[in-house]
Structure 1
Amino acid sequence: MRLYRGLARVFPRSFTAKLMAVVFLGLHVPLLVLLLWMAATGHYARGVMWTVVGVVLLATLLGTAIAMMALYRLMAPLRQAADALEAYYDEQRLPHLPDLGHDEIGRLLRSINRNLHGVDAGLRDLRRSVLLDPLTQALNRRGCEQALADSAAWASAQARPLTLFVVDLDNLKPINDAHGHLAGDQVLVRLVETARLWLRGPDWIGRWGRDEFLLAVHADSNEAGERVTRWLAQLAAPARAGEPPVKASAGAARYRPGDDLREAYRRADAAMYRAKYAGGGRLLRAED
């Protein structure tokens, strides 16, 4: 490490320059010693001595140039590894470094590949655990808040309509009482899975509370309302035997660019409660 620290003072930004300095000194120190020895001993006649010195000097300079070019090319994997690490840090772009064998460079590149892919997989799992509901795998409340902001930005940028829905189950407690809490959990999972069959593109569903869900549908309120109405009817008449029917109330509110997202949610939530007080099992829109 002392040699590295010493060369780092002279070449602080280039490891290649450090290697080239070592090669240059390694090739030219012997030449310098030869010159000093010949001058001190007078072993050769002056003309012969300078001829030998010239030939050795030219050969040494040529060898130095070839060695430096070869070293620069040998440093290419290290430069590629540094670029891959910076790309992952700046853009989260995973590296695909080549497998170059079992020497130190090959082991380093394989280690970078393996470790960054492992770190990236761990980060994806962490994001999922932070933003997803563990039971239904829908977005949790934090995920809903983030997705709401993203959906509003996307709708504004694309000039597309956005409709928010608040859905609350009307008969989860009777299902739990009659069939057990496991059946109630399966109802929540089925609700999310069936919603994903008709949600499109940037649409999403999230679990806002215990049995309350939030949906964002990038369509006008009429088209989105038709989809939700068909979905609620499907839940109320399950296709598989033994599945308890699910009764849910839903409220809808249109989001317009510049609107307050919290106000849009409050309007959808108020419409959902009107649907629930009207007997449940239906969709009402805030605009109605």
Structure 2
Amino acid sequence: MRLYRGLARVFPRSFSAKLMSVVFVGLHVPLLVLLLWMAFTGHYRRDTMWTVVGVVLAATLVGTAMAMMALYRLMAPLRQAADALEAYYDEQRLPHLPDLGHDEIGRLLRSINRNLHGVDAGLRDLRRSVLLDPLTQALNRRGCEQALAESARQAQSRRQPLSLFVVDLDNLKPINDAHGHLVGDQVLVRLVESARQWLQPGDWIGRWGGDEFVLAVHAGHEVACERLRRWLQTMEGSVGEEIPLKASAGGAGYRPGEDLRELYRRADAAMYRAKYAGGARLCCDGD
């Protein structure tokens, strides 16, 4: 990179000029050596022909080796660019290529930096849109499944408790019938926003489908159940312009190594017990 930076001071906007200068110097080294030798040793004599041939041959070999070495070093930015592209393709590792000026290579490296960062940002937005519910911006079903797998992995590796809750609204249909579906949509959005006010870092809420939501809480099961119970009471106690919400919820604590479908089944069964018991309450697995 030092050779490149040095030539960049002389030819700041042309990589071709850099290459040509290296080739020019490499090809003319033999001639320069021959001229210097003849100048210091006097006129040319026949009996010194083989000496001249040897000197010219040696100088040519040296000049060729120097030119090849310089070209190899001059190509270092291109090798870095190729490595950066491969690293992003294989590991999604963003490049941090150096800024080498305004010639062809400098523009190429800046373009790779800028374009890969733009592509990566676009992919992150796409992943988020694929995993989020467009109405509530909570996780959608696919997002819930991925988040639950990650939560279970962390709970098992760190030996931390994890509780899963299934929440189903009891009065969304009456709200839609009385106030319209637009108000019903606003109710769903408000439910997610209110949940995020008490969820801790690492906890999450997702819309499983319709008016059914799933929450994961990284806390002891009794503590998690108490937090969810207070949340249900807060929603049911809404006054003023906010329409009170009634929801049935079921919870289950994660057992290390448990199949996640079984964990959801236990929480879902507890939610149906709450609904069959009259709704607007929380039932936990094992109660």
Map Cα deviations across residues 136-171 of structure 1 (whole Å, 9 max, x no partner). Answer: 111111111222222222211111111110001111
- TM-superposed CA distance for 1:78, in Å, is 1.0
Q: Which residue of 1 aligns with 2:280?
A: 281
**1:215, distance to aligned residue in structure 2 (A):** 0.9
Matched residue SS, 2:116? helix
SS at match of 2:79: helix
1:263 CA displacement: 2.0
Q: Who is 2:242 aligned against?
A: 243
Q: Distance in 1 between matches of 2:225 and 2:147?
A: 20
Taking the aligned partners of 2:212 and 2:201, their CA distance within structure 1 comes to 22
Q: Percent identity?
A: 80
Moved more, 90-99 or 221-230: 90-99
Q: Which aligned segments of 4 or more residues in structure 1 are displaced greater than 4 angstroms?
A: none
TM-score computed with the length of structure 1 as normaliser: 0.79
Aligned to 1:13: none
CA deviation string 1:149-198 (max 9, x = no partner): 22222211111111110001111122222322222111111211221222
**2:78 matched to which residue of 1?**
78
Q: Which amino acid aligns with 2:222?
A: N
Alpha-carbon shift at residue 91 of structure 1 (Å): 1.7
Measured after TM superposition, the shift of residue 115 of structure 1 is 2.2
Note the aligned Cα RMSD (angstroms): 2.7
2:141 maps to 1:117: no
- State the alpha-carbon separation in 2 of the partners of residues 53 and 109 from structure 1: 45
Alignment partners' CA distance in 2, 1:84 and 1:113: 9
Q: How many angstroms apart in 1 are the aligned matches of 2:170 and 2:145?
A: 24
Question: What is the distance in 2 between the residues matched to 1:261 and 1:225?
Answer: 19
Q: 1:138, 1:47 → 2: CA distance?
A: 92
Report SS of the residue matched to 1:208: strand
Q: Mind listing any 5+ residue stretches in structure 2 that lack a counterpart?
A: 1-18, 35-42
Q: 1: CA distance between counterparts of 2:243 and 2:45?
A: 110
TM-score under structure 2 normalisation? Answer: 0.79
Structure-2 residue corresponding to 1:169: 169
- Structure 1, unaligned stretches of length 5 or more? 1-18, 35-42
Structure-to-structure mapping, 1:264-275, within 5 angstroms: 264-275=263-274
Deviations 1:25-75 (A, max 9, x none): x839x97xx9xxxxxxxx953234344434434443443343233222211
Deviations 1:214-267 (A, max 9, x none): 11112121010111112112222347x422111111111111012232222122
Deviation at 1:278, TM superposition (A): 2.3
Matches within 5 A, 1:185-200: 185-200=185-200
Partners of 1:229 and 1:47 lie apart in 2 by 108
Find the residue that maps to 1:253 and give its secondary structure: strand
Partner of 1:134: 134
Residue 89 of structure 1, CA deviation? 1.6
Q: How does 1:5-16 map to 2 (within 5 A)?
A: none
Q: Deviations over 1:83-107 (max 9, x none)?
A: 2112112221111212323322122
Structure 1 counterpart of 2:241, one-letter code: G
Larger mean Cα displacement after TM superposition, 166-175 or 125-134: 125-134
The one-letter code matched in structure 1 to 2:247 is A
| 3-state SS in 1 of match to 2:206 | strand
